[in-house]
Amino acid sequence: MRKDISVPQQTKAILDKYGFTFKKSLGQNFLIDKNILTNIVAQAELTEESGAIEIGPGIGALTEHIARNAKKVVAFEIDQRLLPILQDTLSPYGNTEVIHSDILKADVKAVIEEKFEKGQDIMVVANLPYYVTTPIIMKLLTENLPIRGIVCMIQKEVADRLAAKPGTKDYNSLSIAVQYYATAETVIKVPKTVFVPQPNVDSSVIRLILRDEPAVKVKDEAFFFEVVRGSFAQRRKTLWNNLLSGVIPKERKADLETVLNEIGIDPKRRGETLTVEEFGKLSDALLHLVK
């Protein structure tokens, strides 16, 4: 029986066979730990009817594990040099397909419509390149895709932010943006030693399950996010100072005070102490001051 792609000597043999060299600019770090790969796929709770989308399959170590657990796998790979390798390593898995494309430029909705069955359970399962983690996650969350969620390996610090609770040091505007669309939970901590080449940071696997409706219903979504970003603009500043620095015109200062009193939010609080619900209440109450 053929060894798993992730077995270190197998990974080395594949890389040697194709003379593959890692490109730092693409954030390539391949996983060489079977237990972690098995665990990542388990967190996605796939069934034999599920579809899976992978981003950056590398030489196919994670793809192989997903393919054993899902009905269909579609992987997006940006590096053309990996296409012949994947054709080879994934040849035993007829349910996999690799698309040569930058996920950030791809029309993911159109790909889903073309490659998966209507109404199929679909999860994104990926070891994401660290330098584009946030744009990829936000693209997947905001494009109204028919997916159940995302299980992905990312830098530990970023995972901590995505899953952070109000009042903690990691909680910021990204935490709120992600938690507006999905529930977020760190499910596995991953040491740097299980990759080749070894990255400089530890990693975590985060599980994001999309909400049926956003966490809070707001009158104006764009303004809600503007208020959130503005409230974290300078972390040490109070909500009052941050809002007057970039969100609410200074001449509406008295109105801002009235609004905050009316909704019971202390202007001396800092952005990181507000819940998503409080930001929803705040943005709705402030909307008439800027429109």
Binding site listing for S-adenosyl-L-methionine? 29, 31, 56, 77, 102, 127
58: left (phi over 0), alpha (psi -120 to 50) or beta: left
Encoded tokens for 217: 């219903």
Give the tokens for residue 46: 């796939």
Alpha-carbon gap, residue 122 to 53, rounded angstroms:
7
| Alpha-carbon gap, residue 46 to 153, rounded angstroms | 17
The candidate with the shortest Cα–Cα distance to 87, out of 97, 101, 73, 72, is 97
Distance in angstroms (rounded) separating the CA atoms of residues 248 and 243: 6
Annotated binding site: 29, 31, 56, 77, 102, 127
* CA–CA–CA angle 171, 175, 181 (5° rounding): 155
Based on its alpha-carbon atoms, the radius of gyration of the chain, rounded to whole angstroms, reads 22
**What are the helix (H) ranges across the chain?**
8-18, 34-43, 61-67, 83-89, 108-115, 133-142, 156-162, 173-181, 221-231, 239-246, 253-263, 276-290
* Distance in angstroms (rounded) separating the CA atoms of residues 92 and 64: 9
126: Cβ contacts below 8 Å, ≥ 6 apart: 53, 54, 55, 56, 62, 150, 151, 152, 153
Which residue carries 């590398």 as its tokens? Answer: 58
H/E stretch holding 154: strand 149-155
With tokens 């603009």, the residue in question is 233
